[in-house]
Structure 1
Amino acid sequence: MIALSSLHELYSAKNLVEQLKVSQPSAYNKLLDVISLTRQMQINYQGFGTLLMDENEKQSFYGNIHIRDSVLQIFYGEVDRLKNDSNFEDVKLLFSTYKEIGYTTLCKLILGESPESLKGVHQGNSTLK
């Protein structure tokens, strides 16, 4: 699924991420940890999002066919740890509210990418000479 989003939607999502960070730091930190693990294991973010939201069963590799089952079990354990957090409903609300911008885009926002970089908007004050 290709998700096209406006800069306004990205800022709105970023604001909700910041609210989660402040109001539910434990759930936010678990989310950040598991998204970082997703990146480090080269698992695609869309697959992580669908797993998080119970939209499909556990897939065998989520885009990285070289991951051993024993390592995947660690990943699944971290996802389950996040789902078992007492404030997981706030995480789920974030992902369901902004599903249309795409789980990949949402994960990148959570990791700290700016809305402008996600939209390909140039930042800075460079001048043409």
Structure 2
Amino acid sequence: MRSTMKYAMLIFGDDHEWTALSPAEEEDVMAQIYGWYERWQPTGKIAEGGAELQPRETAKTVRAGGNGQPVITDGPYLELKEVIGGVVMLECDDLDEAARIAATWPLGTGMSALEVRPVMSRE
């Protein structure tokens, strides 16, 4: 029996573009995303659902400070055009299969790239 691995599919984009969508445009994009889930959920390739993240303005960043104490700041540390807007956990035979599944994701306004990474296992 072949074992599978978990992969994190990170969804990058400009969250300002996403929040600028009209309700009808957002509904259209979400219908495409739900269609993607309907395609892959029955195959067992989605290990866990997904998580859509709120806009970057709602974030806090924690970094190591010079005195060894954490420093907490509002928002992302750097002004980035693209940020991680969501994550989906996949369960696939290998990285190539995970990338092929990710390539079917409906990229569009507010979503410009995907990164697929193996999830570390420390068993």
- Asked which structure has the greater CA Rg, the reply is 2
Could you tell me the TM-score, scaled by structure 2's length? 0.35
TM-score of the superposition, structure 1-length normalised?
Answer: 0.34
Q: Which has the higher strand share?
A: 2
Ranked by relative contact order (alpha carbons within 8 Å, sequence separation 6 or more), the top structure is: 2
Q: Which has the higher helix share?
A: 1
